[in-house]
Amino acid sequence: MAKHIIATPRRLPDALAGMLKMKYDVREPEGATIWGEGMSGADEFAALADGADAIFATAFDELDAGVIAALPASVKFIASIGVGVDHIDLEAASARAIAVSNTPEVTTDCLADATIGLIIAACRRFREGLDIAKTGEGRGMLTPDSWGQRVTGRTLGIIGMGNVGRAVAKRAQGFDLNIIYTTPRPTPEIDQAFNARAVGFEELIKTADIISLHCPLKEETRHLINGDVLAQMKPSAVIINISRGPVIDETALIEALKSKRIFAAGLDVFETEPGEIRQELRDLPNVFCLPHIASATWESRAAMAQRLLANIDAFFETGAPIDQVI
């Protein structure tokens, strides 16, 4: 029996490629570096995918309406690795009856760990401390204007109380943080489990000392944090983002940080991805930046690969992936 064909717009790491090739015929672009830029356009990828049953994609592969329209009729499934699916035009995929899956839950613990790390780094001004340490100075930040903020006992506002938001709330209890949250479906069970309180978006923005974003990128969440919202935050507020870069209007954030309208930010995702982080943003001493590595652990990446394979297996065996988005 002929193997099902899976096309990918980029060359895969050897371990992942090996897993897939044990069961499937995997087509990768020639000459592309691992996880580097692969296909140059929709038509080129469509040619590679000719006859393929499914395609594999990462968060950095923009499968917009044009790319999906160009796909051959044989493609019935898009297997995406990662939690977010904002890189896929779901409406266009649905119109062509193409199923889409992601790999949720398996990265939850590492994402929550990274969130807590960013909270500590931003509140305690670790970016500035690191810069001083690089000069060889062993006793810097001795004056009050260079001191950070204590994390313990502050109010944490979580925007989006899904798997990751709840995992962050669980860890936050260890810091005796007062937890408030906003989510489309608050429940008494969440309140009880995390000693938390559901509030409206405006109340959260105005009262939280630390605001952590864990919402998906949708039209209604794009620039959710904008100039007007930043103006309502406490001057001592710290904002954390490991969700998606465009949830924050970075131009407005830069201005708020430069003018000390808010205290600091800890960011793992950026509005300009997959391009470079804005120079003005990474130069600010009150921003602690990570290069989208919240899920970059051996454990998370292995679990993501296994979940991806499980979704592909399920689709070809039953007609539906385990983690079906549409």
List the strands of the sheet with 210-213, edge to edge: 196-198, 178-182, 155-159, 210-213, 238-241, 264-267, 287-289
What pLDDT, on the 0 to 100 scale, is given for residue 32? Answer: 58
pLDDT digits (tens, 9 = 90+) for 175-205: 999 999 999 999 999 999 999 999 999 999 9
Tokens 């499980």 sit on residue: 310
pLDDT of residue 141: 85
Between the two ends of the chain, the Cα-to-Cα distance in Å is 29
* Interstrand relation of 54-57 and 5-7 (parallel, antiparallel or unpaired): parallel
pLDDT tens for residues 282-312?
Answer: 999 999 999 999 999 999 999 999 999 999 9
Amino acid, res. 302: A
79/88 Cα distance (integer angstroms): 11
Kindly tell me if the per-residue pLDDT of 101 is higher than 80: yes
Domains in the chain, ordered, with CATH?
5-105+298-318 (3.40.50.720), 108-289 (3.40.50.720)
* pLDDT tens string 156-168: 999 999 999 999 9
So what's the pLDDT on residue 30? 80
Number of Cβ within 10 Å of residue 222's Cβ equals 15
Q: Which of 124, 292, 301, 307 is catalytic?
A: 292
Query: Is 27 an annotated catalytic residue?
Result: no
DSSP for 123-147, please give it: HTTHHHHHHHHHTT-SS---SGGG-
The catalytic residue among 62, 105, 273, 280 is 273
Cα–Cα nearest to 82, from 310, 303, 321 = 303
- 273 catalytic residue (yes or no): yes
Average pLDDT across the chain, whole number? 94
pLDDT in tens, 32-80: 555 455 556 788 899 999 999 999 999 888 999 999 999 999 999 999 9
pLDDT at 295: 94
| Known catalytic membership, residue 244 | yes
Q: For residue 147, what pLDDT is reported?
A: 93
- CA dihedral (188, 193, 199, 203) in degrees, to 10, reads 160
Segment 212-235, tens digit of pLDDT = 999 999 999 999 999 999 999 999
Question: Regarding predicted confidence, which is higher, 40 or 87?
Answer: 87
Question: What's the pLDDT score for residue 60?
Answer: 85
In 3D space, the residue among 207, 116, 196, 203 whose CA is nearest the CA of residue 161 turns out to be 196
What single string gives the DSSP state of each residue in 97-119? T-EEE---STTHHHHHHHHHHHH
Sign (positive or negative) of CA dihedral 315, 319, 322, 324: positive
B/e letters for 28-53, b = 16+ CB within 10 Å, e = fewer, are: bbeebeeeeebbeebeebbebbeebb
Tally DSSP H helices, then E strands, for the chain: 13, 12
Per-residue model confidence as pLDDT tens digits over 109-135: 999 999 999 999 999 999 999 999 999
* Catalytic-role residue among 244, 271, 301, 307: 244
Q: Nearest Cα to 250, choosing from 273, 233, 216, 218?
A: 273
Q: Report the C-alpha gap between 222 and 232 in whole angstroms.
A: 18
| pTM beyond 0.85, yes or no | yes
Kindly give, in sequence order, each residue whose CB lies less than 8 Å from that of residue 194, ignoring residues fewer than 6 positions away: 166, 169, 170, 172, 173, 179
Q: Hey, how many other C-beta atoms are within 10 angstroms of the C-beta on 297?
A: 16
Q: For residue 90, which amino acid is it? A: L
Q: What confidence score (pLDDT) does residue 212 get?
A: 98
Q: What share of the chain is helix, strand, coil (3-state, %, to 5)?
A: 40, 15, 45
Asked if residue 31 has pLDDT above 70, the reply is: no
Tokens found for residue 160: 């989006």
Query: Is residue 1 pLDDT above 90, yes or no?
Result: no
Q: What is the reported pLDDT for 267?
A: 98
Task: Say whether 71 sits in a helix, a strand or coil.
Answer: coil
Q: Which of 56, 78, 90 is nearest to 219 (CA)?
A: 90
Contact between 158 and 169 (Cβ < 8 Å): yes
